[in-house]
Amino acid sequence: MDGDRRQQVVDRFQTDPTTRVLVTTMGALGVGVTLTAARHMIVAELPWTPGAVEQMIDRVHRIGQHGEVTAQLICADGTIDGFIATHIAEKGKHIRTLMQ
């Protein structure tokens, strides 16, 4: 989808109260997208870094967010996403330790 169409989709999600669900991939929305109309976020596609996970969640926690947001990361044991989730958690622990 080109940039203009992507922005139309984001604008509709942000402003149209009848548009209640946005299904997308983490790469499709690009950097800097604001989704403050969201109240529940389910991440079913895990990136390899803790920072990328945080950036996805930050898209719904930007300035202008007026409500509570629930963010869930889902994956199944025994899958590549389960493997990735374990490594994301370990990387996050190491990063937090180094930052102290």
Q: Which of 91, 24, 20, 52 is nearest to 6 (CA)?
A: 24
Give whole-number Cα distances, 36 to 46, 49, 61, 72, in Å: 21, 23, 6, 16
pLDDT at 29: 66
Question: What are the mean pLDDT values of the chain's consecutive 10-residue runs (100 residues total)?
Answer: 86 93 77 81 82 80 79 86 86 84
pLDDT at 6: 86
Structural domains for the chain: 3-99 (3.40.50.300)
pLDDT at 18: 94
pLDDT at 43: 82
pLDDT at 30: 61
pLDDT at 87: 85
pLDDT at 17: 92
